[in-house]
Chains A and B, each alone.
Chain A
């Protein structure tokens, strides 16, 4: 299967100081990798390293699935977004910006992609609505549409269901499972163990002393043997 991300001895960190130990993992087309671990274990730092926002302290990272400008990233929502005037349409369309290069305006194919992405996440009827007045779950769907506008080969999700009620969270997982079934590789940071157990195909566990990478079944075994983890 086509590889989307391959990390060997990858050590994420800030300004040369490692935040977590070296990790090895591979993410292929159709895989769903859940990155689990305590707060401060370096999950977000790992994500930012994979995204290219931070240089790795050590190790090797290949991201054939990350085409420049086509980054399907669902970040956590920021404070600015809660009072920024922006329509759902403007937010979804902005996912295409990375593909524009130095061309200043969006073209027909960009608008078609944004419409398709909103359709995919079930927000097509909300295009003219204000982003900040949506519910948390709806906002998350719009940001997912923006990520899909950027690229649908690989989705990088940062706590996709944190702050959502159980119904919205279940809807989000169904949507992601559908995309995953169509071949989209998913790299998901999560605190939601139940969701990760139900949907992920692989698990990367970041611990203070040790880390683990394997399929979900292998992870359950490992966790049984290492009850302290």
Chain B
């Protein structure tokens, strides 16, 4: 069977089509938020939050919560707000607080799953949560709609606050003095990051989430010089890599998350070379 026939065969399954649509949307909003997060040295927040989300996911599965996504979402948003506060508090450095939260959440999460887990395949479950495995292909119809709606919502919020985000990222003090609402803007970024991370966990798993946030922004920054250019380029990068990664994973039978991130690394390498040539 040729490649095209294989693709055509899989294309008939609705779950493949919805996985592709949801995956691309999630990658899109992760890349949009990635630009300000990377520029403001907030990428560590993404990493910390993904671990917190793993802990929440473990608790949800132990408690056998029916809809685990809203629970995980709530916990992660609260963690985002706490992390942002800790980062601004000079007495306890933000990175130390993040390390505490992320390691603590991972340890307690795994412990709970071990002690109270009812699953027959514990290591399989843990591996799926950490690396995404094929969970994007097994989302229920309700989760597909919720993910798509949240991803579109984040994209819309980003578009509406785009100029404000630029002003606060470029010069927070100037923005604050001018009454731009820098604190509200930071809060919005942190909460959006939490939502994106929970969404992206379904796609690539909690250990790989940061990849979706940082690679598009870093690649775009190699070749573009304006904030608008970087944002657009990162979005295209993410959409292309996510679509390619999901299709490759479906056809080749590889894990979705690591395939997408591997594609992103490869394409980032091309951008890096292009940036080097431009500078030379």
Task: Flag if A80 contacts B40 (CB, 8 Å).
Answer: yes
User: Which of A68, A81, A91 is in CB contact (< 8 Å) with B179?
Assistant: A68
Task: Flag if A69 contacts B178 (CB, 8 Å).
Answer: yes
User: Which of B159, B167, B173, B224 is in CB contact (< 8 Å) with A94?
Assistant: B167
Does chain B have a CB within 8 A of A106?
yes
**CB-based A-B contact count at 8 angstroms:** 90
* B161-173 to A contact mask, C-beta < 8 Å, 1/0: 1111011011101
Task: Flag if B178 contacts A98 (CB, 8 Å).
Answer: yes
Does chain B have a CB within 8 A of A130?
yes
Greatest chain A CB density within 10 A among B39, B178, B179, B227 is at B178
* A39-77 to B contact mask, C-beta < 8 Å, 1/0: 000000000000111000000000000001111010100
Does chain B have a CB within 8 A of A174?
no
Does chain B have a CB within 8 A of A85?
yes
Task: Flag if A97 contacts B177 (CB, 8 Å).
Answer: no
- Inside 8 A of B160's CB, which chain A residues have their CB? 104
Report the minimal beta-carbon distance from B33 to chain A, rounded to whole angstroms: 16
Does chain A have a CB within 8 A of B105?
no
**Cα separation A106 to B179 with both chains bound (whole Å):** 16
Known: A69-B179, A73-B177, A80-B39. A85 touches B230 (CB 8 A): yes
Does chain B have a CB within 8 A of A133?
yes
User: Which of B40, B166, B176 is in CB contact (< 8 Å) with A86?
Assistant: B166
Task: Flag if B163 contacts A105 (CB, 8 Å).
Answer: yes
Task: Flag if B170 contacts A86 (CB, 8 Å).
Answer: yes
**Cα separation A80 to B175 with both chains bound (whole Å):** 14
Task: Flag if B178 contacts A150 (CB, 8 Å).
Answer: yes
**Cα separation A11 to B180 with both chains bound (whole Å):** 26
Report the minimal beta-carbon distance from B43 to chain A, rounded to whole angstroms: 14
Does chain A have a CB within 8 A of B221?
yes
Task: Flag if B163 contacts A100 (CB, 8 Å).
Answer: yes
- CB within 8 Å of B: which of A92-132? 93-95, 97-98, 100, 104-106, 128-130, 132
Does chain A have a CB within 8 A of B145?
no
Task: Flag if A52 contacts B177 (CB, 8 Å).
Answer: yes
Does chain B have a CB within 8 A of A215?
no
* 21 pairs from A and B in contact (CB 8 Å cutoff): A51-B177, A53-B176, A71-B174, A73-B174, A73-B177, A75-B174, A80-B39, A80-B171, A85-B39, A85-B225, A85-B227, A85-B229, A85-B230, A87-B226, A89-B226, A90-B228, A91-B170, A104-B159, A104-B163, A133-B225, A150-B178
A-B contacts besides A90-B227, A97-B175, A97-B178, 8 pairs, CB < 8 Å: A85-B220, A86-B225, A87-B226, A87-B227, A90-B166, A91-B170, A104-B163, A129-B225
